[in-house]
Chain A
Amino acid sequence: MPLTRREFLRLCLQGTAGLSLANIFLPHLAQALGNEERPPVIWIEATTCTGDILSAINAVDHDLRHLLSSVIDLRYQQLLMGGEGSVAREVLEQAMDGRLGRFLLIVEGTIPLRAGGGFNVIARRPSGHGITPLEAVRELGQRASHVLAAGVCASFGGPFAANPNPTQSVPLHQVLDRRVINVPGCPVHPDWLWGTLTHCLLYGTPDLDSFSRPTLFFGQTVHDLCTRRQFFDNGIFASELGQPTCMYKLGCKGPVTFADCPRRQWNGHLSWPVEANTPCIGCTSPEFPDRMTPFYARLPGLELPGVRVSTATLTKLVAGATAAGIGLHLAGKVLTGRLGQTYRKERTPTEIQEIVRVKKILRALPPGCGTRIESRRQEDPRSVTLRHLRKVKARGRGQESRTPRKLEERPPEQGDRPARGERKV
């Protein structure tokens, strides 16, 4: 029996060490598809560092061998394919002009637009004409059954589209007039990519958030799932890199970053950036890297105060908390008395003094003063993550447990609708 969609979702969400989702779904997938009917996959490397394919082949149990033999029919992949020169170009052209039929398109890297896309040529025709990523993805995008953007560059622009964007690069969805499923990350986590692909093959397009990311993997913030959340709640912050506590004060972007890294972990479910005693740098966010840098700057200084929405009562107290030079969340914990009972034992005397000071400031605030200050604080209108975060939180309040819609309710060609917020260039 193939897995039901509900079972598949549950397996993906678990994603704990030692239980790779592929162990369970691979046999079903092979059964469902039949070994002969592996869907053709075209993987285009646009302007990239090649890190996404190198990460994707780090998959543990659904490793490259299984993927190639049981899941997909990888026709074009610049780094791994046997063909070169004219042979490789021919495979690409077959897909571009429709001779290959339907296939699944995965793109890594951003699409350069400067000089008509001339800042990258992925193949050369005998006439001397260079096929640019722009030309290739536009052709391929029309013929693909699903389009996946692998990694933050293809999803949102990423490092090579960062200010001043020397090649005028844009994410994939801006040059395609159809739905693109964004699977961000720098690089993409193999489970995210292959899990999304499997969902597409077995059950159609997964549930997506407003940035077209599968909520399966990008539905919660790193902060909410963080293995060091207790340190945050207890107000134990690292003061320099390499300390095994909360990285919030060192610029951790976990509170505004949607990804399940803490639960899933990287490289064989072994570690993740905060486990390495460094802050999360927000590499799955649409604003990475420009509005996630400086990487070591604390969030409020960035005018990206995502944390403030995570505890509704705190919004009025921004001013007081910032003045005290201590995290909002901590202030909230102090105020609401939710600070761990053990905090006095774990605290240094200075930290206890600071907590007491915050308590005093908070008590001294006249009613409503925080609200006035709040209204003066200009929120950066470009902060899409913040708006998104609000939306998610609002949705979370309205509807505690959203049950995934059933597969039958989906129109079969849903993939051809452009997602919200996408525009054609």
Chain B
Amino acid sequence: MANRKVVVGPMTRVNGMWEIHVTLDGQNRVVEARSASPFWRGMELILQSRDPRDAPYLTERICGICSSAHGYAASLALEEAAGVEPPPNGILVRNVLLGADFLQNHIRHFYFLHMPAFVAGPEQPPFAPRFTTDLRIPRRVSETIYQGYFRAIDESRRAHELAALFSGKVPHGHGVVAGGATVHPDSEKILRALGMVSKLRSFIDEHYLPDVERIAEYYPDYFSIGGGTEGFFSFGAFPQAPHKKKTAIPGGVMLEGRREELDLSAIEEHVRFSYYDQESRQHPAKGTTEVALEKPGAYTFVKAPRYKGRALETGPIARMWFAGRYREEPSTLSRTVARALEARLIVDLIEEWLLAMDPSSPVFEPFEVPEEGRGVGILGAMRGALGHWVEISSRRIARYQIITPSAWNCSPSDDTGRPSPVEAALLGVQVQNPEEPVELGRIVRSFDPCLSCATHVIKGGRRLTSFQII
């Protein structure tokens, strides 16, 4: 039998627009996979020559589900450029706020985005119509899981409220700025936040973790489907006071089963299959690029970041690996389990930080825009390693570069044809029904892809020389 091409487009239930193109052989096995994002906005271009202090609020707008992470990373980059160190109390406030947004993201990802591919929901829109292939969970258990879904509406909102307590509003909060945080923790806020945290903890214990287990019970084969990544890459998560380089959840690089120290200069971006007209396999330090929609062979707006030529996976599974809390082979369900365990860990961390807050000490260090400066803000975001690089000249943004976690995970193949983690995870997968390739969505959503982030711009001509400064 001849090969057959299958497209899942739109790949719904992800942030942003995404398509998966696969080629199936005669036995309906995936022999070629492409992660394609047909969606481009140009945020880094928009940031150019603006007041640097606007960067945290503007970069938040890249992504609605992980806005605090972008604001945080932008603030870190600006603080490094200006040589400002936020007070320890401010770092605690920022971490609580980011942690709350993590919880919101992890809960919404599992219940709203990931779980419905495995479990049949109510027979009404928006839950139906849907693919009906390979739904194994009996009705009674499905109903239990959907009770979790409807509880998740309340609890993810509560996580957002916890973030809003220190941020004014979310998505796109105001609480993280260059120089620290803006909301002073007082006893009332701390008490209220502790109450919210305890409710979130019981939701995770009573619904989230058991529901992950329920799915794992009926789909154990998904612990061996969707692996294939070459290694892990992580910036850790939650910068710690007073040294920002230390993080509460450690980071690093895992190549061939060995852990290495992170070397930011080993990153290069490939564009052979991306809609950009520039020389490939280099730091985007040289050359200028324009978007080239008609470029032959290109299929996505995401570039392919590679570390020492390897396509590494980032995200909760990488963080949990470095933290030594969960060291399973990457697969569809092990990513999901790692994310749930991370949510549980973050609940405890938030509580710890709340109790460590000091209502009488400052949260903000006045921030002056430097005449010239360069800074990098690396941060563990919800989906993995996020980096913002800023260059300031004449008190304006001269260059801004962002590499998001989903660019690592959902990139296209690189110049050597090496597939990205998402594409590698799809190769060799047996598709039961090519009319309803339900397996593909299950696998790719386990990465918690965020195409809003991945395709913000990655404009060519952004220099990454500032990579080397740390």
Q: Which positions in A face B, CB cutoff 8 Å? A: 40, 45, 47-55, 57-58, 60, 63-65, 68, 73-91, 115, 118-124, 126, 130, 158-160, 162-167, 186-187, 240-242, 244, 266-268, 270-278, 281, 283, 289, 293-297
Contact: A122 with B10, CB < 8 Å?
Answer: yes
6 shortest interchain CB distances as A-B pairs:
A51-B64, A166-B42, A276-B168, A267-B164, A82-B130, A121-B38
Tell whether B181 is near chain A: CB-to-CB under 8 Å. Answer: yes
A80 and B65 alpha carbons, distance in the complex (Å): 13
With both beta carbons as reference points, the residue of chain B lying nearest to A88 in the complex is identified as: B12
With both beta carbons as reference points, the residue of chain B lying nearest to A160 in the complex is identified as: B41
Q: Is the interface of A mostly helix, strand, loop or mixed?
A: loop
Contact of B171 among A79, A118, A187, A244 (CB under 8 A): A187
Contact: B168 with A275, CB < 8 Å?
Answer: yes
Residues of A within 8 A of B291 (CB): 166
Contact: A63 with B42, CB < 8 Å?
Answer: no
Residues of A within 8 A of B40 (CB): 119-120, 166-167
A271 and B46 alpha carbons, distance in the complex (Å): 29
Task: List residues 46-71 of chain B with CB under 8 A from any CB of chain A.
Answer: 46, 50-51, 53-54, 57-58, 61-65, 67
Residues of A within 8 A of B50 (CB): 293-294
Contact: A266 with B13, CB < 8 Å?
Answer: no
Contact: B457 with A166, CB < 8 Å?
Answer: yes
Residues of A within 8 A of B173 (CB): 276
Known: A187-B171, A281-B174. 10 other contacts (CB 8 A): A54-B65, A57-B157, A90-B129, A164-B46, A241-B177, A271-B168, A273-B174, A274-B168, A277-B182, A277-B183
22 A-B contacts, Cβ less than 8 Å apart?
Answer: A50-B15, A51-B172, A82-B116, A83-B130, A87-B130, A118-B293, A120-B17, A124-B19, A159-B43, A160-B42, A187-B171, A244-B184, A268-B161, A271-B164, A271-B169, A274-B168, A276-B167, A276-B168, A276-B175, A283-B172, A289-B58, A293-B50
A63-B153, A118-B293, A270-B165 in contact; A84/B51 too (CB < 8 A)?
Answer: no
Contact of B39 among A51, A79, A119, A266 (CB under 8 A): A119
Contact of B67 among A45, A51, A53 (CB under 8 A): A51
Residues of A within 8 A of B153 (CB): 57, 63-65
B112-134 interface bits toward A, Cβ cutoff 8 Å, 1 = contact, 0 = none: 11001100010011111111000
Shortest distance in angstroms between B196's beta carbon and chain A's nearest beta carbon? Answer: 10
Task: List residues 67-119 of chain B with CB under 8 A from any CB of chain A.
Answer: 67, 108, 112-113, 116-117
Residues of A within 8 A of B435 (CB): 86
Contact: A124 with B9, CB < 8 Å?
Answer: yes
With both beta carbons as reference points, the residue of chain B lying nearest to A261 in the complex is identified as: B169
Shortest distance in angstroms between B22's beta carbon and chain A's nearest beta carbon? Answer: 11
A123-B10, A278-B175 in contact; A240/B364 too (CB < 8 A)?
Answer: yes
Residues of B within 8 A of A158 (CB): 61
Contact: A121 with B46, CB < 8 Å?
Answer: no
Contact: A84 with B57, CB < 8 Å?
Answer: no
Contact: A295 with B13, CB < 8 Å?
Answer: no
Contact: B126 with A294, CB < 8 Å?
Answer: no
Residues of B within 8 A of A241 (CB): 177, 179, 182, 364
Tell whether B154 is near chain A: CB-to-CB under 8 Å. Answer: yes
Task: List residues 135-177 of chain B with CB under 8 A from any CB of chain A.
Answer: 150, 153-154, 157, 160-161, 163-175, 177
A64 and B107 alpha carbons, distance in the complex (Å): 15
Residues of A within 8 A of B172 (CB): 51, 186-187, 283
Contact: B125 with A89, CB < 8 Å?
Answer: no
Residues of A within 8 A of B437 (CB): 85
Shortest distance in angstroms between B43's beta carbon and chain A's nearest beta carbon? Answer: 7
Q: What class of interface size applies to chain B in its complex with A?
A: 35 or more
Q: Which positions in B face A, CB cutoff 8 Å? A: 7-17, 19, 38-43, 45-46, 50-51, 53-54, 57-58, 61-65, 67, 108, 112-113, 116-117, 121, 124-131, 150, 153-154, 157, 160-161, 163-175, 177, 179-184, 291, 293, 362-364, 366, 435-437, 441, 452, 457, 459
A114 and B365 alpha carbons, distance in the complex (Å): 42
Contact: A270 with B164, CB < 8 Å?
Answer: yes
Shortest distance in angstroms between A55's beta carbon and chain B's nearest beta carbon? Answer: 6
Contact: A242 with B181, CB < 8 Å?
Answer: yes
A164 and B290 alpha carbons, distance in the complex (Å): 14
A281 and B71 alpha carbons, distance in the complex (Å): 15
With both beta carbons as reference points, the residue of chain A lying nearest to B181 in the complex is identified as: A242
With both beta carbons as reference points, the residue of chain A lying nearest to B45 in the complex is identified as: A166
Residues of B within 8 A of A123 (CB): 9-10
With both beta carbons as reference points, the residue of chain B lying nearest to A289 in the complex is identified as: B58
With both beta carbons as reference points, the residue of chain B lying nearest to A80 in the complex is identified as: B126
Residues of B within 8 A of A80 (CB): 13, 112, 126
With both beta carbons as reference points, the residue of chain A lying nearest to B366 in the complex is identified as: A240
Contact: B363 with A242, CB < 8 Å?
Answer: yes
Which of A48, A268, A271, A297 has its CB near the most chain B CB atoms (within 10 A)? A271
Contact of A50 among B16, B154, B160, B180 (CB under 8 A): B16
Contact: A54 with B64, CB < 8 Å?
Answer: yes
Residues of A within 8 A of B58 (CB): 159, 289, 293
Contact: A68 with B179, CB < 8 Å?
Answer: no
A278-B168, A293-B54 in contact; A79/B174 too (CB < 8 A)?
Answer: no
A87 and B131 alpha carbons, distance in the complex (Å): 7
Residues of B within 8 A of A82 (CB): 116, 121, 126-130
A81-B13, A84-B131, A85-B437 in contact; A266/B169 too (CB < 8 A)?
Answer: yes
Shortest distance in angstroms between A406's beta carbon and chain B's nearest beta carbon? Answer: 34
A296 and B367 alpha carbons, distance in the complex (Å): 12
Contact: B182 with A276, CB < 8 Å?
Answer: yes
Shortest distance in angstroms between A243's beta carbon and chain B's nearest beta carbon? Answer: 9
A158 and B38 alpha carbons, distance in the complex (Å): 20
Contact: A160 with B46, CB < 8 Å?
Answer: yes
A45 and B11 alpha carbons, distance in the complex (Å): 13
Shortest distance in angstroms between A79's beta carbon and chain B's nearest beta carbon? Answer: 6
A85-B437, A124-B7, A166-B45 in contact; A278/B125 too (CB < 8 A)?
Answer: no
Contact: A85 with B11, CB < 8 Å?
Answer: yes
Residues of B within 8 A of A78 (CB): 10, 12-13, 17
Shortest distance in angstroms between A367's beta carbon and chain B's nearest beta carbon? Answer: 39
Contact of B125 among A75, A187, A240 (CB under 8 A): A75
With both beta carbons as reference points, the residue of chain B lying nearest to A277 in the complex is identified as: B182
With both beta carbons as reference points, the residue of chain B lying nearest to A265 in the complex is identified as: B169
Residues of A within 8 A of B364 (CB): 240-242
Shortest distance in angstroms between A257's beta carbon and chain B's nearest beta carbon? Answer: 14
Residues of B within 8 A of A83 (CB): 12, 128-131
A240-B366, A278-B182 in contact; A160/B168 too (CB < 8 A)?
Answer: no
Residues of B within 8 A of A121 (CB): 9, 17, 19, 38-39
Contact of B54 among A76, A167, A295 (CB under 8 A): A295
With both beta carbons as reference points, the residue of chain A lying nearest to B127 in the complex is identified as: A82
